[in-house]
Amino acid sequence: MKISAEGKTALIVNGQGKVGQAIAAALTASGATVVEATAGGLDLSSQAAATRSAPAVADSPFLLIHVSAGLNSTDRAPDGSAPSELDRFAFAARAFAPQVARIVHVISAAGVVPLRGDAAFSAAQAGLASLTRALAMELAPDVVVNALAVGAVDDADERLVSHSPLKRAATPAEIANAALFLADPANTYTTGHVMTVDGGWSIGYARDF
């Protein structure tokens, strides 16, 4: 899948994981220049720092993609990091709102349907889903803000895969295709939406956890 992004700049935060890399590759294939925002100098230590550092990261980007750190790590211990991730998402969105036309958050489907035994992670992801909706109201009408709620990817836990009607995990490229739909400059009337890309996992197919 490709979109019309020739000559445009896209920013990505936390793009080092397989999902972020696939999204970056898909945007590049569509003609966009992709910049890893934090590597480019974005400071997410506070809102003031983010706002101050954002203009130097890229010239007139059209898109901000922010991938939840929880998708890049299996360490989900309730260590107090969830509020700081929520803050970082908000800091980045508000810092780039004067420049971008669209923002896409990539979160876990656990933000839509919680995981049994993983309450802290599920609550953190639900917070990111709610933040997406709140920012869609706050930044309208100039910026559309949406989220992808991602299910099992690649070598995911077979227990999770077994509860998808499709009986398989997603490929990173399939997640990237969904991200492109929300990132497409032609997609001008979808905002505040949390799109599940989980093979039907969140509809509750044969769930026992």
Question: Which pLDDT belongs to residue 81?
Answer: 45
Is pLDDT of 68 > 70?
yes
Provide the domain limits for residue 124: 9-201
Q: How far is Cα 113 from Cα 125, in angstroms, rounded to an integer?
A: 10
Does residue 207 form part of some domain? no
Beta carbons within 8 Å of 10's beta carbon, 6+ residues apart = 24, 27, 32, 33, 34, 35, 61, 62, 63, 64, 65, 183
Does residue 142 form part of some domain? yes
Alpha carbon dihedral 161, 166, 167, 168, in 10-degree steps, equals -60
Is pLDDT of 12 > 70?
yes
Does residue 209 form part of some domain? no
Q: How far is Cα 61 from Cα 143, in angstroms, rounded to an integer?
A: 12
> What does pTM read for this prediction?
0.92
Q: Quick one: three-class SS letters along the chain?
A: CCCCCCCCEEEEECCCCHHHHHHHHHHHHCCCEEEECCCCCCCCCCHHHHHHHHHHCCCCCCEEEEECHHHCCCCCCCCCHHHHHHHHHHHHHHHHCCCCCEEEEEEEHHHCCCCCCCHHHHHHHHHHHHHHHHHHHHHCCCCEEEEEEECCECCCCHHHHHCCCCCCCECHHHHHHHHHHHHCCCCCCCCCCEEEECCCHHHCCCCCC
* Overall number of domains in the chain: 1
Q: What mean pLDDT do residues 152-168 have?
A: 86
At which residue do the structure tokens 């003031």 appear? 48
Does residue 206 form part of some domain? no
Does residue 208 form part of some domain? no
Question: Which pLDDT belongs to residue 73?
Answer: 59
Does residue 156 form part of some domain? yes
Among 1-5, 76-80, 135-139, the range scoring the smallest mean pLDDT is 76-80
Does residue 104 form part of some domain? yes
Does residue 3 form part of some domain? no
Q: What mean pLDDT do residues 162-191 have?
A: 95
Q: What mean pLDDT do residues 155-173 have?
A: 87
Q: What's the CATH code of the domain at 161?
A: 3.40.50.720
Q: What is the pLDDT of residues 13-67, one digit of tens each?
A: 999 999 999 999 999 999 999 999 999 999 999 999 999 999 999 999 999 999 9
Q: How far is Cα 38 from Cα 151, in angstroms, rounded to an integer?
A: 25
Question: Which pLDDT belongs to residue 78?
Answer: 46
Q: What is the pLDDT of residues 72-131, one digit of tens each?
A: 754 444 454 433 899 999 999 999 999 999 999 999 999 999 988 899 999 999 999 999
Q: How far is Cα 10 from Cα 28, in angstroms, rounded to an integer?
A: 9
